[in-house]
Amino acid sequence: MKWVRNRLDQLRKPFEPGEKYEKFAPAINAFDTFLFTPNHTTKKGAHIRDVVDLKRTMITVVLALVPALLFGMWNNGAQYLYQERGLASVFDVPFWDAFLEGAILVLPLIVVSYVVGLTIEFIFAIYRGHEVNEGYLVTGLLIPMIFPVDIPLWMLALSVAFAVLIGKEAFGGTGMNILNPALTARAFAFFAYPLYMSGNAIWVHNGSTDAVSGETILGSLASNRFDGVVSGGASDAVAFASSSVTEVSSTLSSLNFSDMFMGFIPGSVSETSALCIAIGALILIATKVGSWRIIIGGLAGGAAMGLIFNYFGGLGGEYVSELVNSGQITLEQIKNDAGAVAALELGGWDATLLELGKNQLFNFPFWQHLVVGGFAFGIVFMATDPVSAAQTLKGKWIYGILAGFFGIMIRVFNPAYPEGIMLAILLLNVFAPTIDHYVIQGNVNKRKKRLKKAKTQLQAA
């Protein structure tokens, strides 16, 4: 490393103050501080000195992301190859075949994300005359991990540029952004290119071919195409397919909770494995980089919202069963003939119950809501962003609970946005300062009341 140190010192000379390339010093300094600990310290003022700096914090998050990233490479390769080769399951694909196929698909996304994002970061650092911050080490990896594997690279590049320019640099750069940059990139792509960010084919490589199915669980549930064969499913009364579908996708027909928890399902690059995400969460919590209050609060809020939906969905399921058992209608009529349902001339609460009984998302067990889609990944790696999240201890609980609560609410109420956690976290990013404000104001008011009470007691004495 001494040889590298000496070479860097030689390269730095033209970039030193007063030299020809002084203006471009932030660029060379970025490489220096990436490889070595910065040799400058604070000179004045009161500071808490610690070995943990921004670079080490960002690298810790990157390490926490590695399990989900590696699994995502394998899963994306396996999801494609087992169907392309006509195998029975993803486990029949040789491990290295699946991993190498997935790596070939995922690595270009990561390269494009870092090249585009860091280029913009370097340009702004040189223009503003400050050092390049290490914040994009995490953002540059998060963005490709939450995108479909087959997203065109130019769309990814535009999304990255939008996130860095509008979601970050417009507010002053690292530490100043009010929105999570990675979610800003996904939101841009979702609304700008919806056909490439949602649908049945995009979640598995080359999903447009007849041989490969790319549908996710949430996509099937939102369109009532899931057959209900899930461990702990709500009711046989709602386990039917849409009339527009003749058979259930082989990818979804035999799933159980273990498959969903382990991640052997289609989805964004690294969002599918709740186990790998949990490992990342433990790393963040153990190193105190991520807030356990936000993570636990998010899971609790999502579970609470899921329980509420399951309750009303259960009422609807019972009502559908009553209609079937009384002979007023058959499950086949509900399944295949919307006109027969309308012929019952139901209105008011009865019509609502019938719709609730038919809605797969209402009847999807609450604990399974927590492990499918991007919910777990969003709560662990997005909601805990220390810049855009709430800062007070009580505020973190409120922020996490509301993020989970609204995430499941958006998922169920608006099937057009089955990944409701994205919009929920962005919404809470906006309100995080408000949450902290009222938490602090509440503490101030409590202290004022205690002071007033103490003065009253003193005067009485």
Is residue 69 within 8 A of residue 381, CB to CB? The reply is no
Considering the domain architecture, whether residues 79 and 179 belong to the same structural domain is answered as yes
Residue-number span of the structural domain to which 27 is assigned: 2-35
Considering the domain architecture, whether residues 23 and 58 belong to the same structural domain is answered as no
When divided into structural domains, the chain yields a total of: 2
Considering the domain architecture, whether residues 14 and 57 belong to the same structural domain is answered as no
Q: What is the pLDDT of residue 244?
A: 35
CA 242 from chain centre, in angstroms, equals 28
Q: What is the pLDDT of residue 404?
A: 96
Q: What is the pLDDT of residue 52?
A: 63
Considering the domain architecture, whether residues 63 and 210 belong to the same structural domain is answered as yes
Q: What span, in angstroms and rounded, lies between the C-alpha atoms of 281 and 65?
A: 9
- Taking 50 as the pLDDT cut, the residues of the chain under it are 226-253
Q: What span, in angstroms and rounded, lies between the C-alpha atoms of 252 and 240?
A: 13
Considering the domain architecture, whether residues 169 and 86 belong to the same structural domain is answered as yes
Considering the domain architecture, whether residues 79 and 169 belong to the same structural domain is answered as yes
Any domain includes 87: yes
Q: What is the pLDDT of residue 342?
A: 66
Any domain includes 375: no
Task: Report the C-alpha dihedral over residues 185, 188, 194, 199, rounded to 10 degrees.
Answer: 30
Q: Which of 188, 214, 240 is the last residue of a domain?
A: 214
Q: What is the pLDDT of residue 109?
A: 96
Give the tens place of pLDDT for each residue, 127-171: 777 666 777 889 999 999 999 999 999 999 999 999 999 988 888
Is residue 207 within 8 A of residue 226, CB to CB? The reply is no
Q: Number of C-alpha atoms within 13 angstroms, CB side, residue 5?
A: 6
